[in-house]
Structure 1
Amino acid sequence: MTGFQLAPTALLSGYRLEAYESVGSTNALALERAREADSGNLWIAALQQEAGRGRRGRVWATPKGNLAATLLVVLERNFQHAATLGFVAGLALADALDAVAPGRTVKIALDGASAGRNRFELKWPNDVLADGAKMAGILLESSMLAPDRMAVAVGIGVNVVEHPRDVPYPATSLTNLGAQCDAQTLFVALSDAWVAHFASWRAGEGLAAIRNLWLSRAAGLGGEVAVRVDGQVKRGIFETIDEECRFVIRDEDGQRLAISAGDVHFGAVASAGTA
């Protein structure tokens, strides 16, 4: 028995759950279910992931006790906003972390990522930070099922009991922060928070509301950033995310740049020329 269960709100909204002690990849399993004609709204959760992936093929380790969870979403016809499901997931996860770690104080990170407005902040495009250190990552993978149907695996990995120590960025876990929470408790809160944000998203029709909520939790907003894009580093002030959720900076010449994909570094790290 894994101990995973869905929140009552998720059950009432028609979500289903497959739970495992260990899997290769929750994203891969979700896309497999899609190819088997699953209708979507299926959560796959595990306490350990042996072949997890991050963005751009990077490894995402999920040692036992951390949370690996993927939601299979099946979209029909309107696919243009599918990539923004990552922002829905970020908001849901930040709300879930707030719920399981109440009353935690906020620190200002050395790299200036955390402005102290929220206990958990969202780093564009797909990370959740605590005190400026990486707590969680989100990975979207998709597959066309038919000309008018797309499967999206919304993968979420959270450092609950352990965090990596051999990475070139600060990282942390709920246990490291002193929170008394396990992966199963966090998953209940996540499945609950997802329902409201996904309903607000409405296949992209409600993206403006999602964007505004995301900005209210944005790490580094108004500060110096460096973004590595296709091997080049773009520097400037993080102004906003635009209507398509692209990362918008204003460079030293006053030009606004809208960036669709890249690796973001904040504050002192950006100024030092590391990106």
Structure 2
Amino acid sequence: MSLTPGFPWTLTCHETLGSTSDTCKFDAENGAPNGSAVLAFRQSAGRGTRGRVWSAPEGNLSFSFICRHPRIEALVQAMPFLVAVALHDALSSHLPGVSLRLKWPNDVQCDGAKLSGVLIERGGQGTEAWIVTGIGANLKSAPQIEGRQTVSIAALGGSVEPERLARDILTQFGVWLARWERDGFAPVRAAWLDRAHEPGSRLAVQRGGNYIEGFFAGLDECGRLLLQTDRDEVQTVAAGDILLLG
């Protein structure tokens, strides 16, 4: 258990689960407390964003955790960035000398190749409301994803066991959650920007069946992506697939 104020987590490990997030959602609906976390050494039905399948071979990280909070609506907005910074810091501690960068809102990449991904879901009402965050990371091997580059910690010269990394992420999340509770979103936003791809990076943002190209111009005060288009307009992006174009 972490002793970090504000997030006293507990981690339960399973040999095999369908989906750690589905398990956490079921547990949350049945009263599991804030900080309950679940890890699977093998996951057979992992889920990514927008209904995608998340491949999770044995040896990679598959875990999820529950958050309950009196400021749940504000936390929902901040959560992608709190998790992103915590995940980046935990992964970086096992890859000294390797430059990892965040892609909006919470993918961790190395030289444009995806190392990890996050799925955030919410449910419940009132005092029973919850957020479940699922995190997958390529530790031993990187799955093949059509049209996307992927990489693993092993390929980058590092090594860490899933349980150790899950504990590191939960500890870092507790640190950043306490910072957000004390100082608001501004320091989280600054930390995210410090760990993100460079301003001016060429991006494509999916809108329906089309992509809008432009340049990364930072985040607004709520964490929405700012895209400077080729027409020199700045558009605000609240959701959508982002491609780094180099």
Which category describes the TM-score, using the shorter chain as reference length? over 0.9
Instruction: Indicate the residue corresponding to 2:220 in structure 1.
Output: 242
The aligned counterpart of 2:63 is: 69
1:13 and 1:152 map into 2 onto residues whose CA distance is 13
**1:30-56 Cα deviation digits (max 9, x unpaired):** 111111112211111122211111110
Provide the rounded CA distance (Å) in 1 between the counterparts of 2:126 and 2:169.
31
1:164 aligns with 2:143: yes
For 1:151, the aligned partner's letter is W
Say if 1:228 and 1:262, in contact at 8 Å, map to a contact too: yes
Determine if the alignment matches structure 1 residue 130 to structure 2 residue 113.
no
Name the residue aligned to 1:141: 121
Show the counterpart of 1:264. 242
Give the Cα separation in 2 of the matches to 1:46 and 1:122.
25
In 2, are the aligned partners of 1:220 and 1:266 still within 8 Å (CA)?
no
Match for residue 196 of structure 1?
175
Residue 92 of structure 1: which of 62, 86, 94 is its match?
A: 86
The aligned residue for residue 113 of structure 1 is none
**Runs of 4+, deviation exceeding 6 Å:** none
Give per-residue Cα distances to partners, 1:50-104, cap 9 Å, x unaligned: 1111110000011111111111001335414404212111111111111112233
The amino acid across from 1:120 in the alignment is: L
CA contact (8 A) 1:79 1:150 kept: no
Structure 1 residues 187 and 56, CA gap change in structure 2 (3 angstroms): same
User: Which of 134, 142, 160 does residue 181 from structure 1 map onto?
Assistant: 160
In 1, Cα distance between equivalents of 2:242 and 2:45: 25
TM-score by length of 1: 0.83
TM-score, structure 2 as length reference: 0.92
The 3-state SS of whatever aligns with 2:55 is: coil
Counterparts of 1:223 and 1:35 in 2: how far apart (Å)? Answer: 41
CA distance in 1, matches of 2:72, 2:37: 22
**Counterpart in the other structure of 1:57:** 51
The one-letter amino acid of 1:46's match is A
Query: What amino acid does structure 1 have at the position aligned with 2:129?
Result: M
Unaligned ranges ≥5, structure 2: none
Q: What SS class does the counterpart of residue 73 from structure 2 fall into?
A: coil
* CA distance 1:162–1:11, shift in 2 (3 Å): farther
Q: Give the superposed CA RMSD.
A: 2.0
Moved more, 184-193 or 29-38: 184-193
CA displacement, residues 87-126 of structure 1 (integer Å, 9 cap, x when unaligned): 111111111111112233xxxxxxxxxxxxxx11111122
- 1:232, CA displacement in angstroms? 2.7
- Indicate if the aligned counterparts of 2:5 and 2:178 stay in contact, CA closer than 8 A: no
Calculate percent identity across the aligned residue pairs: 30
Give the Cα separation in 2 of the matches to 1:121 and 1:130.
6
Q: 1:79/1:87 Cα in 2 relative to 1: closer, same or farther (>3 Å)?
A: same
1:153 to 91, 107, 132: 132
The structure-2 alpha-carbon separation of the partners of 1:90 and 1:152, relative to structure 1 and needing over 3 Å to count, comes to same
CA contact (8 A) 2:139 2:159 kept: no
Report the 3-state secondary structure (helix = DSSP H, G, I; strand = E; otherwise coil) of the residue aligned with 1:32: helix
Q: Residue 149 of structure 1: CA displacement?
A: 3.7
Task: Give the deviation of 1:25 after TM superposition.
Answer: 0.8
CA distance in structure 1 between the partners assigned to 2:71 and 2:115 by the alignment:
34
- Kept in 1, the 8 Å contact 2:6–2:178? The answer is no
